[in-house]
A and B are shown apart, each in its own frame.
Chain A
Amino acid sequence: MIEVKNISKTFGDNQVLKNVSTIFEKGKTNLIIGQSGSGKTVMMKSCIGLINPDEGEIVFDQRPFSRLAEKKKKDIRKDMGVLFQGGALFDSFNVEQNVMFPLNMFTTMSLEEKLDRVNFVLKRVNLENVNNLYPSEISGGMMKRVAIARAISNNPQYLFCDEPNSGLDPKTAEVIDALISEITEEYDMTTVINTHDMNSVLQIGQRISFLYKGQLWWQGDMHTILEEENPELQEFVFSTELTRRIKK
């Protein structure tokens, strides 16, 4: 479980997060949703330690994270897997080397054990016979799946996904969503997903936090979001022609 306790962040005169508190539950897909500029990315980056909040605290299973020195954060970081928006695969490494990277850095496994683990996680994300391909040689959807494989290769307790569906066609996006959801359940991870894709919200939103102008505006799940009367949330949810038609 991850507890976000009263975090605030200001850049210059712009207060991006205003006293946000929420809980990301274990074994569930926790979604952070909101329009562009609502503070989703800053919240996600605060959780993974790329930004230090001005106030408040992030606690990983009773382990305070945001106030720790960089060296001490390392222990918690070893338990994190992060899927970045663009995949952030290392260009100079092939698929196998990318997925093996966390194992090389943080385990004492033999090469054989590492290769077994790499092949296992690649199979888990439905990728086979791509070990020797480089990121430039694979499609966007495959890149995301390799990034997921890398994120889970070292058995993390926490999985963070920043806009996992951006740049993907609807069918591939659905596959990626389903994969993240299955993995979360299978490994009993705390998964946090930053998205503005309503398909994802309705497909895997087991716990949803809606941010509006830097504040936590609403919390619920995929079953309650469509019935909610909050006008700001309604504006976000029914912002596309498709959702407006469904509403009618």
Chain B
Amino acid sequence: MLKMLGEYLILLVEIFKRPDKGPVFRSRLMIEFVGLGIDSIGIVAIISIFTGAIVAIQTAYNIDSPLIPLTMVGFTTRQMMILEFSPTIISLILAGKVGSRIASEIGTMRVTEQIDALRVMGVNPANYLILPKITASMLFNPVLIIFSMVLGIWGGWMACIVTGLVTSTDFIMGLRSWFEPFTVTYAIIKTLVFAFIISSVSGYLGYNIKGGSVEVGAASTKAVVYSSILIIFFDLILTQLLLI
């Protein structure tokens, strides 16, 4: 465990060196924006809309007491999406989608000597391969998460209108009640930390593969498992630090 942590920290030092060539780094960054960010929009949109709708319906279903106003449905949907669902659950989904992609891509490059080829050409492979992924994830994941919040709340609103459980007016009134802008800041901070965890941990696991295709598969699985555990762990720590 300590050995892994040491290797991870040494790799981070290599990653955060100045890129060999600015234009090459920028072109790699654009490629990663598409691969890690834009390609994830679809899954984020579908999951967010449906989860927002489910949260709204479940909240409405659980409000039995006439003393609790139905505006709580809009309020709860908003809070759930901003505080936990969008930053954490979407990050967990991205750990599965993006993390396994990063680990298997870099791992395959390792076992087919492409990383050795970069190194003997005088290129810093860690910096060339992983820095654009970390940068792209940290810049694009907050956009995805805000997109998820908006779609999730819209999904909840639509579900209320379609099912007739809550009126549009009640939902919107709840949505606008007791809003604290810091909750969005908190969600963005969490997202940045989670994006760093997903890209750097997956990059580390792919980069340090020894063996062949079996190890690439194993590293890909480990990337998802380790990233998910770290996301949940840091979720607790950040919530404690930022909200209490």
Q: Tell me the dominant secondary structure on chain B's binding face.
A: helix
Q: In the complex, are the beta carbons of A90 and B120 less than 8 A apart?
A: no
Q: In the complex, are the beta carbons of A78 and B122 less than 8 A apart?
A: yes
Pick from A74, A78, A85, A106: contact of B113, CB below 8 A.
Answer: A85
Chain A residue at minimum C-beta to C-beta distance from B117: A88
Q: In the complex, are the beta carbons of A50 and B122 less than 8 A apart?
A: no
**What chain B residues lie within 8 Å of A92 (beta carbons)?**
31
Residue B21, interface by CB 8 Å: yes
**What chain A residues lie within 8 Å of B31 (beta carbons)?**
92
**What chain A residues lie within 8 Å of B112 (beta carbons)?**
86, 88, 91
Interface centre among A74, A89, A105 (most CB of B within 10 A): A105
Residue B20, interface by CB 8 Å: yes
Q: In the complex, are the beta carbons of A105 and B121 less than 8 A apart?
A: yes
CA distance A144 to B163 in the complex (A): 63
**What chain B residues lie within 8 Å of A82 (beta carbons)?**
117, 120-121
CA distance A194 to B21 in the complex (A): 32
Pick from B21, B24, B108, B117: contact of A84, CB below 8 A.
Answer: B117
CA distance A106 to B21 in the complex (A): 8
Q: In the complex, are the beta carbons of B122 and A91 less than 8 A apart?
A: no
Q: Tell me the dominant secondary structure on chain A's binding face.
A: mixed
Q: In the complex, are the beta carbons of B20 and A50 less than 8 A apart?
A: no
Q: In the complex, are the beta carbons of A91 and B114 less than 8 A apart?
A: yes
Pick from A73, A88, A89, A105: contact of B20, CB below 8 A.
Answer: A105
How many residue-residue contacts, CB under 8 A, span A and B? 52
Q: In the complex, are the beta carbons of A104 and B21 less than 8 A apart?
A: yes
Encode contact with A along B25-40: 1 for CB under 8 Å, 0 otherwise. 0000001000000000
Residue B116, interface by CB 8 Å: yes
Chain A residue at minimum C-beta to C-beta distance from B27: A104
**What chain B residues lie within 8 Å of A88 (beta carbons)?**
112-114, 116-117
- Chain B residues 117-176 with CB under 8 Å of chain A are 117, 119-123
Encode contact with B along A171-214: 1 for CB under 8 Å, 0 otherwise. 00000000000000000000000000000000000000000000
Interface size on B, residues (CB 8 A): 16
Q: In the complex, are the beta carbons of B24 and A104 less than 8 A apart?
A: yes
CB distance from B4 to the nearest CB of A (A): 20
| Chain A interface size, under 10 / 10 to 19 / 20 to 34 / 35 or more | 20 to 34
**What chain A residues lie within 8 Å of B24 (beta carbons)?**
104-105
Residue A102, interface by CB 8 Å: yes
**What chain B residues lie within 8 Å of A16 (beta carbons)?**
none
CA distance A102 to B128 in the complex (A): 13
Q: In the complex, are the beta carbons of A86 and B21 less than 8 A apart?
A: no
CA distance A91 to B110 in the complex (A): 12
Q: In the complex, are the beta carbons of B121 and A84 less than 8 A apart?
A: no
**What chain A residues lie within 8 Å of B119 (beta carbons)?**
49-50
Chain A residue at minimum C-beta to C-beta distance from B108: A91
- Chain A residues 42-95 with CB under 8 Å of chain B are 48-50, 73-75, 77-78, 80, 82, 84-86, 88-92
Residue A101, interface by CB 8 Å: yes
Chain B residue at minimum C-beta to C-beta distance from A84: B113
CA distance A80 to B120 in the complex (A): 8
Q: In the complex, are the beta carbons of B121 and A102 less than 8 A apart?
A: yes
Chain B residue at minimum C-beta to C-beta distance from A75: B122
Residues of B within 8 A of A (CB): 20-21, 24, 31, 108-109, 112-114, 116-117, 119-123
A-B contact pairs, 23 of them (CB 8 A): A49-B120, A50-B116, A73-B122, A77-B122, A78-B121, A82-B120, A82-B121, A84-B113, A84-B116, A84-B117, A88-B112, A88-B114, A88-B116, A90-B114, A90-B117, A91-B109, A91-B112, A102-B121, A104-B24, A105-B20, A105-B121, A106-B121, A160-B120
